[in-house]
Amino acid sequence: MADKITIKTKDICDTLNIGRHQLRAWTDTLAPYCNRKTKERSAFRYDSADLLYFALVKHIIENFGLSLPFIARFSEALYSCVREPQSLTHPSFLFISEQCNSCERLSLDKIDREGFIIDVNPAQTLVYQFLGLSTQQTQLQLGLVKVN
């Protein structure tokens, strides 16, 4: 069995072009990271889904101008969306509802309220580049995939 890819704080900061203080602000504010128990002199370890999560947070802040406290209201749902299996047949978009403080995979037939539509592809591209995948390899669905 292959070893799990471990991503360090420095890797996330370098990939997203952010400072450690910025990542620390996110992990101190956004669930589930703010609920983690920390051990002295022990660094956090992340995986590719965590990198995608933080890439989406950066994308949302920069492109939609949403504040960190606002994102904190749906950060747990965003985390769940990033970690759930992806559909091979549907585009990768997330729907964020301000009314419900929720985040879910976009289903065009189920939009019954106002919200933000987030394209996941720019964030996924950053993750694929970090992992060293070529353009053709990005067509492969890495991680969990929903099957019928």
Domain extent listing, the chain? 9-138
Cα–Cα–Cα angle for 143, 46, 120, rounded to 5 degrees? 50
| Distance separating alpha carbons of residues 67 and 3, to the nearest angstrom | 36
Q: Residue 83: how many CB atoms within 10 A of its CB? A: 14
* Residue 101 or 135, more confident: 101
Say what the pLDDT of residue 62 is. Answer: 93
Residue 1: the pLDDT is 46
More confident residue, 82 or 86: 82
- pLDDT score at 142: 54
Q: Which of helix, strand or coil describes residue 135?
A: coil
Q: Decide: pTM greater than 0.75.
A: yes
- Looking at residue 119, its pLDDT comes to 87
Report the alpha-carbon distance of residue 112 to residue 40 in Å, rounded.
47
Average pLDDT taken over every residue of the chain: 82
Q: How confident is the model at residue 98 (pLDDT cuts 50, 70, 90)?
A: confident
Task: Look at residue 73 and tell me whether its pLDDT is greater than 70.
Answer: yes
CA distances from 58 to 38, 89, 106, 113, 137 (A): 24, 26, 19, 24, 24
Greatest mean pLDDT among 26-30, 87-91, 125-129, 138-142 lies in: 26-30
Q: In this model, does residue 133 exceed pLDDT 90?
A: no
**Tokens 């969306």, residue located:** 81
Q: What is the pLDDT of residue 60?
A: 93
Closest to 131 in 3D by CA, of 52, 19, 24: 52
Going by the DSSP 8-state scheme, the letter that residue 145 receives in this structure is B
Higher per-residue confidence, 87 vs 54: 54
What pLDDT does residue 23 have? 94
Higher-scoring residue by pLDDT: 54, 105: 54
- How much is the pLDDT for 56? 95
